[in-house]
Structure 1
Amino acid sequence: MNLPDIWLISDERIDAQLPQALSRLPRGSGFVFRHYHLPPAHRRTRFEELARIARRYGHVVVLSGTPREAGRWQAHGAYGAPRRLAGGPATLRLATVHSLRELAQASRTRADAVLLSPVFPTRSHPGASHLGQVRFHLMAARSGVPVIALGGMNAHRARSARIGKWAAIQGLAKSPTKSFPIHS
């Protein structure tokens, strides 16, 4: 399975926009389902609804959870902190990383890629510190696996910062249809 360049991350703030956002992404993009706010039964139902839409467009579907949970839910992979991704069946593993220590943990837990964040200021964490372009690129250079930029990302920022793989929540859910940067 090829690792997509563009990833849409779910969040309760953009739930209503997700079906349309999934339809606007370039074919074969990635979708990470989080929806932590829902009770388990509702979370599973919403996952199945959105996964069906995502698969219709050839997107890779990843569940925030353990590799075992991802397997039970028939997701293509699991997303989370490196320690949650250890063990379990062979599946795509996307580790969330915010520091060099977590980058090393991700490597030890066989992560296939890391989501390094936050690159830029975000609406989800107003006033929180962020990496900036220089630190992002320095940390990404130390990774032994592909790096996906997250945090304040959108197509314009990905292009101007020369970031090949990126993810967004609101930056993809609310933007109008446009051409996305696709990198090889």
Structure 2
Amino acid sequence: MARTAQFLGRRARRRKGASAVLPPLLFFTDPARTPDPEAVAANLPRGAAVVFRAFGAPNAEAQGARLKAIARRRGLLLLIGADADLARALGADGVHLPERLAHRARRVKAAHPRWIVTAAAHSTAAARRALAAGADAVVVSTVFASRSASAGRPMGALRLAILVRRAGGAVYGLGGIDMKKARLLKGTGLTGIAAVDGLRT
């Protein structure tokens, strides 16, 4: 999966020129589906990013600090889900906003110009809104059938490619992507791949 993600990232940089800062692979933590995110992070390729979603956990800062240490050691980026205060406290590289908060992207970028700000999107319209609101990239789901309880109807590679063309910016695909299915995404125009349990050790 990492090789396909890197392939997509290289093509996106040649095509758009402005996405060189974006990692080709995003690992999204999840308390239920990735109970040991540190083990997964420790095996990610250099240049990937961890998106730490604490969901209000009381030990969020401690776990985030451990992930930050792994990221520093491994040459990874660390983004924090929906919590700019935690991102600032940890010295993270940016934040990931849920779709409902995507309109805050420009405000976050203004306060932290060096941060990467990504946003979730579940439709072409949502992707366009998030990018217009200043997000560096959107993470679109659901690409393939997923075990996530919140997964919507999978769009497949063809519909995803259409969405990418219409979005007008950098797009990651998320949902049901494993090593085999990742290869189906090479012609979609994605900037990279995002995964939750698809990257478990």
TM range (shorter): 0.7 to 0.9
State the TM-score, normalizing by the size of structure 2: 0.77
What pairs with 1:1-184 in structure 2 (closer than 5 Å)?
Answer: 2-36=21-55, 38-39=57-58, 42-67=59-84, 69-80=86-97, 81=99, 82-88=102-108, 89=111, 90=113, 91-125=115-149, 128-162=152-186, 165-174=192-201
Instruction: Say which SS state the counterpart of residue 125 (structure 2) adopts.
Output: helix
Structure scoring higher RCO (CA < 8 A, sep ≥ 6) equals 2
1:124 partner amino acid: S
2:163 partner amino acid: M
- Detail structure 1 runs of 4+ shifted over 4 Å in the superposition: 66-69
Q: CA RMSD in A?
A: 2.1
Instruction: Say which SS state the counterpart of residue 167 (structure 2) adopts.
Output: coil
Q: Percent same amino acid among aligned pairs?
A: 28
Name structure 1 gaps, 5 residues minimum: 175-184
| CA distance in structure 2 between the aligned counterparts of 1:169 and 1:105, rounded to whole angstroms | 24
Distance 1:24 1:166, change over 3 A: same
Instruction: Say which SS state the counterpart of residue 118 (structure 2) adopts.
Output: strand
| CA distance in structure 2 between the aligned counterparts of 1:106 and 1:167, rounded to whole angstroms | 17
Aligned positions, number: 172
Distance 1:72 1:145, change over 3 A: farther
| CA distance in structure 1 between the aligned counterparts of 2:140 and 2:150, rounded to whole angstroms | 18
